[in-house]
Amino acid sequence: MINVNDFKNGMTIKVDDNIYTILEFQHVKPGKGAAFVRTKLKNLRTGSTIEYTFNSGVKCETARIERKPMQYLYNSGDDYTFMNMQDYSQIELSKDTIGEDIKYLKENQELDITFYEGEVLGLSLPDKIEMEVIKTEPGVKGNTTQSAMKDATLETGYEIKVPLFINEGEKVIISTKDGKYVSRA
- Cα–Cα distance between 122 and 115 in angstroms, integer? 8
- Residues carrying CATH 2.40.50.140, the chain: 66-124, 128-184
Q: Which amino acid is at 169?
A: G
- Cα–Cα distance between 152 and 119 in angstroms, integer? 36
Query: Where are the alpha helices (H) located in the chain, listed in sequence order?
Result: 95-98
Task: Please tell me whether the overall predicted TM-score, pTM, comes out greater than 0.95 for this model.
Answer: no
Q: Report pLDDT digits (tens) over 125-158.
A: 888 888 888 888 876 666 555 667 888 888 888 8
Determine the pLDDT at residue 38. Answer: 92
- Cα–Cα distance between 62 and 15 in angstroms, integer? 9
Q: Report pLDDT digits (tens) over 16-37.
A: 888 999 999 999 888 888 889 9
Mean pLDDT, rounded, for 29-56:
88
Determine the pLDDT at residue 142. Answer: 61
Determine the pLDDT at residue 118. Answer: 82
Return the CATH number of 2-62, one of 2.60.120.620, 1.25.40.20, 2.160.10.10, 2.30.30.30. Answer: 2.30.30.30
Q: What is the second-level CATH architecture of the domain 128-184?
A: Beta Barrel (2.40)
Q: Which CATH class is domain 66-124?
A: mainly beta
60 vs 122, higher pLDDT: 60
Determine the pLDDT at residue 143. Answer: 57
Determine the pLDDT at residue 39. Answer: 93
